[in-house]
Structure 1
């Protein structure tokens, strides 16, 4: 194998596929990046037990040549060394040549590295997916859905299904939900589907997989194809394939958790509420981050945090709108902060159903997103 490639394009693809490579892999070949060079371009692949990423660099796009293939071939190179070498090479182009003993020579300008490769035939094949259940989303919309939900997944492995984001499709609407059993984040989007009657109810994608996908994708209005099967999901972007396994198990019926009535509704400035809770947490116990909220009158709320051995903070927050009963509740302030940071709205509406009942926060000007929180018992 022998080819010359633009270093910037090469580095970008290496960074993409490296996100799928685990440093703790028990299979030696999976600690490497698979490189395939054929006349139409170079394909890089990285994989672990959860995700597989394939990035393609075409030989040329329009008048610009990215790769010049002199000899076709395949190899697998240790990701840790190979990635760092290519990033630090001095020139704008890189030459890769691999001999019959699978020793790769990487050269650029005055720099020459020789590293041992592995047989590409030992590298596992990517999943073969039947593309029956396919729909499309704009890339920036997909990234927004991930951002609005991924922060709420569980980090505990005691219930593995909660470490994922639940996707369901009905009547052309995709609903994404994440919960760690103390909070819940839900966001919806209309989708474009080749199959008008496409529906599914229990697709759970590891939160880690979607977070890594979001890092790779550029902000754009280009469409990405999404293919769903029983145990895998595939995201197909331009020159990129991203496979993720799905989590086993039934996701909890989260729609039953959302209150349908309210005793109190408060509308607040999102930035001012965020800043007030951040200040309140400065004196809170870092273990549970408890913040107390109570209504003073219809125009003023009081936020307090008390740590006996440290002190007390009191914040006055102006209410833009107040309906219903007097309010007094305690909650995990950090959970509210996480949600406020992804709500892209200047005002939020919060619906309360009682001091010890879950409450809802959503953007005041839209209804396709909501956050649900469990209160904290302080006595």
Structure 2
């Protein structure tokens, strides 16, 4: 195997696949990156068994020659070392050659590295996924869906299924739900040509966070294929496989109240900033709890009290305040993350009492719903 490639294109591909490589893997060959060279270009694959990322660098793109292929072949090279070497090569022209056995030479300018590779046959095969159940979603919409839900997954492994986001297809709607049992984030999206086969999967939060990083600059549509064990995201020249979490995701629809005693409409940004200020004191207290109280004449009060440090109170004018008077306490962190997901729009907060879950939605759009359980302090 022998080819020459422009270093910046090789680095861009390595940046993506390195996100899937873990030093903690129990399968030694997975500490490496698989390089496949064909006449069409070079494929790089990285995996930690949970996530597999493959990126393809074409030999030619938009009339520009990116590489020259002398002989095709495959090799697995130690990922961290190969990545560091490519990053520090002196010129943009890189030659990679595999000779007898798995001896690999990396040359650039007057610099030459010799690495001992591994047989690519030992590297796990990518799963075969039938594309007839795929659907398409714009990259910016997919990034929004991830941002608006993934923060609410559980971080504790005590209920592994809650460390993922439940993607559920219902007729022409994709419903994405995350909960850690103290709060819930739900995003609904209407899409065309949704598949009828697999309609309910739980994607690990870690996988979605890594996918989000890779899609950072992408504007192209992303194709998604869901099976019973894997989900595949296809974008540009990249394949992103993630295993799914096993177990039944709880039915969260019954957690969402149907009747409300107090409705407040206000500017989400103002509330976020007030809670941020109140949490300066709340943070010093181990629970990070902020109090919220309705007052007369369309006013609310946000306050926090730390016995050792002091207290803070702030009154906010709201657009509308209907229903019963209310005093409620909640986690400042949860409330701020919910408001950030709704992203500075006017929000409606609907309460069913001081110790019942309450919900937040955008006034203009009910696609995003956030639910938070209060904290008992009164």
Partner of 2:287: 288
Q: Does 1:20 align with 2:20?
A: yes
Deviation at 1:220, TM superposition (A): 4.7
Determine if contact 1:202/1:251 at 8 Å carries over to the other structure: no
Partner of 1:319: 318
Residue by residue, what CA displacement relative to the aligned partner does 1:194-224 show, whole Å, maximum 9, x if unpaired? 65xx265431000100110111014454221
Normalised to the residue count of structure 1, the TM-score between the two structures is 0.96
Determine if contact 1:266/1:322 at 8 Å carries over to the other structure: yes
Partner of 2:272: 274
> What is the alpha-carbon distance in structure 2 between the residues aligned to residue 39 and residue 184 of structure 1?
49
> What is the alpha-carbon distance in structure 1 between the residues aligned to residue 79 and residue 112 of structure 2?
17
Q: Does 1:250 align with 2:245?
A: no
> What is the alpha-carbon distance in structure 2 between the residues aligned to residue 301 and residue 263 of structure 1?
16
Partner of 1:310: 309
> What is the alpha-carbon distance in structure 2 between the residues aligned to residue 202 and residue 165 of structure 1?
11
Structure 1 gap ranges (5+) = none
Deviation at 1:111, TM superposition (A): 2.1
> What is the alpha-carbon distance in structure 2 between the residues aligned to residue 316 and residue 87 of structure 1?
53
Paired residues, what number? 377
Ranges of 4+ aligned residues in structure 1 off by more than 3 Å: 218-221
Partner of 2:296: 297
SS in 2 for 1:342: helix
CA RMSD of aligned residues (A): 1.3
Distance 1:339 1:13, change over 3 A: same
SS in 1 for 2:207: helix
Residue by residue, what CA displacement relative to the aligned partner does 1:322-372 show, whole Å, maximum 9, x if unpaired? 111112100001001112222134211100010000000111111111000
Partner of 1:234: 232
> What is the alpha-carbon distance in structure 2 between the residues aligned to residue 194 and residue 172 of structure 1?
6
Determine if contact 1:138/1:220 at 8 Å carries over to the other structure: no
Determine if contact 2:169/2:200 at 8 Å carries over to the other structure: no
Partner of 1:88: 88
Deviation at 1:184, TM superposition (A): 0.3
Q: Does 1:97 align with 2:97?
A: yes
> What is the alpha-carbon distance in structure 1 between the residues aligned to residue 219 and residue 87 of structure 2?
29
> What is the alpha-carbon distance in structure 2 between the residues aligned to residue 194 and residue 288 of structure 1?
42
Deviation at 1:295, TM superposition (A): 1.0
Structure 2 gap ranges (5+) = none
> What is the alpha-carbon distance in structure 2 between the residues aligned to residue 35 and residue 188 of structure 1?
39
Normalised to the residue count of structure 2, the TM-score between the two structures is 0.97
SS in 1 for 2:341: coil
Residue by residue, what CA displacement relative to the aligned partner does 1:113-141 show, whole Å, maximum 9, x if unpaired? 11111111110101111233211111111
Distance 1:175 1:281, change over 3 A: same
Counterpart of 1:203 (choices 164, 176, 201) is: 201
SS in 2 for 1:211: helix
1:348-359 matches, within 5 Å, as: 348-359=347-358
Partner of 1:169: 169
Distance 1:200 1:260, change over 3 A: farther
SS in 2 for 1:224: strand
Partner of 1:49: 49
Partner of 1:184: 184
> What is the alpha-carbon distance in structure 2 between the residues aligned to residue 215 and residue 74 of structure 1?
27
Partner of 1:225: 223
Moved more, 202-211 or 106-115: 106-115
Determine if contact 1:103/1:114 at 8 Å carries over to the other structure: yes
SS in 2 for 1:118: coil
